[in-house]
Amino acid sequence: MAIDELKKPAGSWCPHVVKGCGCAIYAERPHSCASFGCGYLHWPMTEDHWFPFKSKMVIVAEDEARMAIHVDPNTP
């Protein structure tokens, strides 16, 4: 997903990600990152196979009636 504050385009790795560890700027991350809520964590109907590290997908609420599933383009 795109992160405007970091000028990160959609479909690219965040320059602050440390693979296997997480966000290198977690304490100072932009508001859009801090306010993001992955559907896996917030929707009780998601089971373990939806865990983003396993599924290579992230569930995102688009609005109150729609959701989107972002798939890692390297793992279609």
Which pTM value belongs to this model? 0.69
Amino acid, single-letter form, for residue 47: E
Contact 69, 57 (CB under 8 A): yes
Domain co-membership, 42 together with 76:
yes
Domain co-membership, 63 together with 30:
no
Domain co-membership, 30 together with 48:
no
How many Å separate Cα 56 from the centre of its chain?
Answer: 10
Going residue by residue through the chain (76 aa), what tens digit of pLDDT does each one get?
899 999 999 888 899 999 888 899 999 999 999 998 888 998 888 899 999 889 989 998 888 888 899 898 888 6
Total of domains in the chain: 2
Domain co-membership, 52 together with 42:
yes
Domain co-membership, 42 together with 11:
no
Range of the domain at 11: 1-35
